[in-house]
Amino acid sequence: MACGSCGTTEDGVPKGCKSNGNCGSGTCGSGSNKLAVFDWLSNMTLPSGQERFNIFEVRFKNGRKHFYKNPDNLPITMGDIVATEGSPGHDIGTVSLAGELVKVQMKKRKITADDDVKKIYRKASQRDIDIWQQSRAKEEETQRKGREILGRLGLKMKLSDVEYQGDGNKATFYYTAETRVDFRQLIRDLAGAFSIRVEMKQVGARQEAARLGGVGSCGRELCCSTWLTDFRKVTTSAARYQQLSLNPLKLAGQCGKLKCCLNFELDTYLDALKSFPKQDLVLKTEKGDAVFVKMDIFKEHLWYTYKEERFKWFRLTLEQVLEIVALNKNNKKSISLEEYEADVEIIEKVDFEDAVGQDSLTRFDVPKTNNRKRNNRNKNKHKKKPVGAVANNNNNSNKPKAKQNPNQKRKPQGKKQVNPNQNPNQKPKVNQNPNQKPRPQSKSKPQGTLNNQEGNPKKANKPRRNNRNRKNNNPNNNAKNENKSEK
């Protein structure tokens, strides 16, 4: 929950605590307030005669916290900016916890009051705060130049973060490296470039991700940068127990290591697996030996297949598998897996169904088609015109118009001339299809043409010769006819 200073004014301008990314109240959920503790004992008075605990918890950059004692009994409360003891000089931090709860935090981190606990010098003045903010502003540029020096020296290490001390006289460089690195020359170059005291501190991949922060594949902030401090070892066996595929791209986090959340539910899976048989156990049936394939822990379903016929898997319940195991212990073979699978009742899960189809994420990817044009096109294909029927102008409206010759002159449309010899009672002729070519007027028929050729415009101009005339005109035929007549 954010503090009141994170709100807005009446004009809509954000107020802000002006701490440059670090919440001054210690209650915001940012990475700089990692493991912020709510002091639920702040309103409770101590018993008579008992003094208040004189050690405070002070927070620095990226959630780094340390404990400091107050030897001068300064009136310090949570959220105050104080100047603490450094090595050398002093550092500037924010008080994150005070009172009796500091004892609990020290016990958790195994720190006692008898240890060398550094002290608080004073409350930070305005001059201390200005120097602190100027030093914080130089961290990004210092990190960029430091990486250039690393590239010039050719050292196999990664500079992840830089933190200036509150007085600006010292800078701590955090780096990660897989092997041992000799950075003595690097320290000389960094000290000469920035004229400050340099301290190198190696951190692991998980600690680096915790300092930088980010968003995980679950959509939330990284656990290591918000609340997780106990980095336990994560192995691939945790993924095997949870029946996860050993895919390094899915199991690895932003740090490059296995995700810490694989250990969160591991104990629950281990408790559930106590009732399951071992995976290397072979089931002996009348049809043959069966081996384990996979399981569903929550539904208590197991899949087995025959050694000789591995192309088909059989789903069995946990009770059926335990029954087969009990028979095998008595040197008896069970019935085939097909009979066991037939008895398994699979409850169909009713999922959400949307009749409109709004749950489909790819509904806008399919291009839309005009169904009206497609239906008209199909109708025109299947429609057949009767022979001799007169075309209708309405049916031909969808057909493309015939291309006209651009060089051809267009005739002006004049008024219709009425033929005076035409009978007024005669019905007008039916308009022909404008796309239909006009028939050429045939010339006068010569003698010998057939009547059935009148409708053919191509053959109308060429008179067909009569076969009889052709035979009569042939001289050979005339000679043959004379010979026959003589005989």
Instruction: Mark whether 116 and 137 lie in a shared domain.
Output: no
The residue ranking higher by pLDDT, 238 or 456, is 238
Percent of the chain having pLDDT more than 90?
35
In this structure, is residue 160 part of a structural domain? yes
Instruction: Mark whether 262 and 288 lie in a shared domain.
Output: no
Tokens read off for 47: 């018993």
pLDDT at 33 over 50: yes
245/171 Cα distance (integer angstroms): 44
Instruction: Mark whether 117 and 26 lie in a shared domain.
Output: yes
- Domain end call among 342, 365, 400: 342
Instruction: Mark whether 9 and 98 lie in a shared domain.
Output: yes
In this structure, is residue 466 part of a structural domain? no
Q: Does a cis peptide bond (omega within 30 degrees of 0) precede residue 400?
A: no
Q: How many domains does the chain have?
A: 4
pLDDT at 453 over 50: no
Q: What tens digit of pLDDT does each residue of 124-170 get?
A: 999 999 999 999 999 999 999 999 999 999 999 999 999 999 999 99
Mean pLDDT in residue range 43-56: 79
Instruction: Mark whether 296 and 331 lie in a shared domain.
Output: yes
In this structure, is residue 330 part of a structural domain? yes
| b/e burial code for range 309-322 (CB count within 10 A of at least 16 → b) | eeeeebbbbbebbe
Q: Report helix, strand or coil for 357.
A: coil
In this structure, is residue 301 part of a structural domain? yes
Q: How high is the pLDDT of residue 143? A: 93
Instruction: Mark whether 13 and 115 lie in a shared domain.
Output: yes
- Domain end call among 72, 102, 124: 124
Q: How high is the pLDDT of residue 451? A: 46
Q: What tens digit of pLDDT does each residue of 158-206 get?
A: 999 999 999 999 999 999 998 888 888 999 999 999 999 999 999 988 9
pLDDT at 317 over 60: yes
Q: How high is the pLDDT of residue 458? A: 47
Q: By residue range, what is the domain housing residue 96? A: 4-124
Phi, psi of 147 (to 5 degrees): -70, -30
190/348 Cα distance (integer angstroms): 67
CATH number at residue 173: 3.30.300
Q: What tens digit of pLDDT does each residue of 288-298 get?
A: 899 999 999 98
In this structure, is residue 147 part of a structural domain? yes
Q: How high is the pLDDT of residue 38? A: 72
The count of other CB atoms within 10 Å of the CB of residue 99 is 19
Instruction: Mark whether 238 and 288 lie in a shared domain.
Output: no
Q: Following CA atoms 368, 370, 371, 375 in sequence, which dihedral angle do they give, to the nearest 10 degrees?
A: -150
Instruction: Mark whether 83 and 178 lie in a shared domain.
Output: no
Under DSSP, the state recorded for 350 is -
pLDDT at 244 over 70: yes
In this structure, is residue 158 part of a structural domain? yes
pLDDT tier, 437 (very low <50, low <70, confident <90, very high otherwise): low
Write the DSSP string, 375-397: HHHHHHHH--PPTTPPP-TTGGG
Instruction: Mark whether 24 and 117 lie in a shared domain.
Output: yes
Instruction: Mark whether 322 and 268 lie in a shared domain.
Output: no
416/425 Cα distance (integer angstroms): 18
In this structure, is residue 18 part of a structural domain? yes
| E strand segments, 60-196 | 65-69, 81-85, 90-97, 118-123, 158-164, 170-176
Instruction: Mark whether 146 and 178 lie in a shared domain.
Output: yes
Q: How high is the pLDDT of residue 396? A: 47
Q: What tens digit of pLDDT does each residue of 360-402 get?
A: 666 667 666 666 767 777 766 665 555 544 444 444 444 445 4
- Domain end call among 73, 103, 124: 124
In this structure, is residue 376 part of a structural domain? no
Instruction: Mark whether 259 and 284 lie in a shared domain.
Output: no
